[in-house]
Amino acid sequence: MNVFDIIGPVMIGPSSSHTAGAVRIGRIAGALLGEDAVKAEIGLHGSFAKTYKGHGTDKALAAGIMGMEPSDSRIRESLSVAKKRGLEISFYLTHIDGAHPNTALITLTGADGKTVSLEGASIGGGNIRIHKVNGMEVEISGEATTFIILHNDTPGTIASVTQFLAGQNINIGSFRLSRRQKGGLAVMTLEVDSPVSGGINQELERLPNIISSTVLAPQ
Amino acid sequence: MIHYLSVSGLVQAAVLQNCRISDLVLEQQAQQLEQTPDQVYDAMAQSLAVMRQAVVDGIYPDLRSTSGLTGGAAFKMKCAVDDGKNICGRMFGSAMVKALAVSELNAAMGKIVAAPTAGSCGIIPAAVLTMQEEHHLSEDTAVRALFTASAIGMVIAQNASISGAEGGCQAECGSASAMAAAAVTEMAGGTPQQVSNACAIALKNILGLVCDPVAGLVEIPCIKRNAMGTANAFVAAELALAGIESAIPADEVIVAMKRIGDMLPVSLKETADGGLADTPTAKKLQEQVFGKRE
């Protein structure tokens, strides 16, 4: 903990969990798609479903998907900004068994039909946890530099990624693997101790059996 | 090296080194964050600038929250102060204006600094900026005071909570008020012991306050409680600066707050199921914003 956890963050109100945290969830979804989304379908669960209008959670999620930060003054007008940018956003109320009360389920579609889905919760004070990516379980806080790597479940893929990072002198703080089925689509999430340049991520993406890699800067 | 485990530890360290609590905190935080003291100082100065802008942006007659439930109170208060109609003098009135302005701006999706939370974001700006303005203090004094306030906040966060969902409003507006009291006391030239007394007195006065937001929104009663928390910070600072001590030391008050928070039922901790949120008017307002519910 430091002074800026106490006096901070600078944010758009009214609620660190329902607004600032929602922006962060949206940002990760947008980063995972890796391009401008043309369509966003957003499911709201629990307290998000009950109070999103009053807290501006809808605007916050939309703003995040478009890459805005929690302190961006345009959050208030984000739904009209989305319209101008050709991003079609729809919200629906949902219930996810056992999910945290502030949970959003986001599915984004890019211009060429690429889609990504994500389930994230705002767990208080603007902190978040992403629990699922494309239906696969992950555990992302966004507090450290994080790689989210979609890949084919084949022998040696994990080793090639960790070896590559070792070669770049990047230390791994946490690692998690999840897959749909044996030999199918899988996701690795790695938290690392040092900042990572976009170039390193591009090189990593060229490794065999990697479908896509996204690196998130700590937020 | 200082830790943020107790207020008494901070006071002892400052007395030992014959300096302000903020001096120690700035130096330690620079080390912890692996930055120069200037970088850390500048970041805090930036937060103070955001707070000042929030006061300006929050004073509009037609400012309204997203829900439409609140807005415009800061403007009314400012008119009363400008017309010389407020009964407690200009400084008090000016502090109320700022507390309302920042809190109302927060509810209207404006830019604020969580201090320590968004729900209590009006208290520290109102106390620190009013103290600076009315006593013609330097920007440096105000920026440094925010380090002292943060140190108190860190001790409270470590030993109790700064979240309404965990500890009730005492943990949000109470913590903010204690932090603001500490900041104002240091700004007035108070000793580290007086800073500690101000913190203790402020927190004692708000112990037990529940978090019962109408319709679950950070508006009613949060905005007016920011005004109260600011007034309470000045009450505590005035007493402490006059040499009045808190019979119960700050660290014990913080533990008491934690215990009270644990004892509070969930219905009174930000769930909008009890207290003011459960009144007939609150339910009507909730329906007005969200429509009927089963």
- What structural domains does chain B harbor? 7-290 (1.10.4100)
Domain residue ranges of chain A, discontinuous segments joined by +: 3-133, 145-216
pLDDT at site B280:
98
pLDDT at site B143:
98
Peptide bond into B249 cis (omega under 30): no
From chain B, pick out residues whose CB is under 8 angstroms from the CB of A73: 110-111
Contact call for residues B262 and B209 (beta carbons, < 8 A): no
Q: Do A12 and B216 touch (CB under 8 A)?
A: no
User: A178: which strand partners?
Assistant: A187
> Measured between CA atoms, how close is B4 to chain A, in angstroms?
9
Percentage helix, strand, coil for chain A under 3-state DSSP, each rounded to 5: 35, 35, 30
pLDDT, one tens digit per residue, over A112-160 is: 999 999 999 998 888 899 999 999 999 999 889 999 999 999 999 999 9
Q: Do A14 and B66 touch (CB under 8 A)?
A: yes
- CATH number for region A145-216: 3.30.70.260
From chain A, pick out residues whose CB is under 8 angstroms from the CB of B113: 7-11
pLDDT at site B293:
59
CATH class of A3-133: alpha beta
The pLDDT-based confidence of A12 (bands split at 50, 70, 90) is very high
The terminus-to-terminus CA distance of chain A in angstroms comes to: 15
pLDDT at site A127:
87
From chain A, pick out residues whose CB is under 8 angstroms from the CB of B105: 13
CA separation for the pair B294, B282 (Å, rounded): 16
- Judge whether residue B294 has pLDDT over 60: no
From chain B, pick out residues whose CB is under 8 angstroms from the CB of A81: none
> Measured between CA atoms, how close is B85 to chain A, in angstroms?
31
CA separation for the pair A119, A128 (Å, rounded): 11
Instruction: Indicate the pairing of strand A37-46 with strand A88-93.
Output: parallel
Q: Do A55 and B4 touch (CB under 8 A)?
A: no
Among B66, B69, B165, select the one facing A124 at the smallest CB separation.
Answer: B165
B237-246: average pLDDT: 98
pLDDT at site A54:
85
A19-35: average pLDDT: 95
- Judge whether residue B261 has pLDDT over 90: yes
pLDDT, one tens digit per residue, over A36-81 is: 999 999 999 998 998 888 889 999 999 999 999 999 999 999 999 9
A195-214: average pLDDT: 93
Mean pLDDT of chain B: 96
pLDDT, one tens digit per residue, over B44-98 is: 999 999 999 999 999 999 999 999 999 999 999 999 999 999 999 999 999 999 9
Q: Which of A138, A213, A4, A179 is nearest to B115 (CA)?
A: A4
**What are the Cα distances from residue B42, in Å, to B20, B48, B81, B133?**
19, 10, 33, 20
pLDDT, one tens digit per residue, over B184-220 is: 999 999 999 999 999 999 999 999 999 999 999 999 9
pLDDT at site A173:
93
How many Å is the Cα radius of gyration of chain A? 17
**What are the Cα distances from residue A104, in Å, to A75, A82, A186, A187, B67?**
17, 18, 22, 20, 21
Which chain A residue shows the shortest CA-CA distance from B64? A54
A97-112: average pLDDT: 94
pLDDT at site B291:
84
Query: Which one-letter DSSP state was computed for residue A6?
Result: H
A209-213: average pLDDT: 95
Domains A3-133 and A145-216 share a fold: no
CA separation for the pair A151, A153 (Å, rounded): 6
Q: Do A13 and B106 touch (CB under 8 A)?
A: yes
Q: Do B118 and A3 touch (CB under 8 A)?
A: no
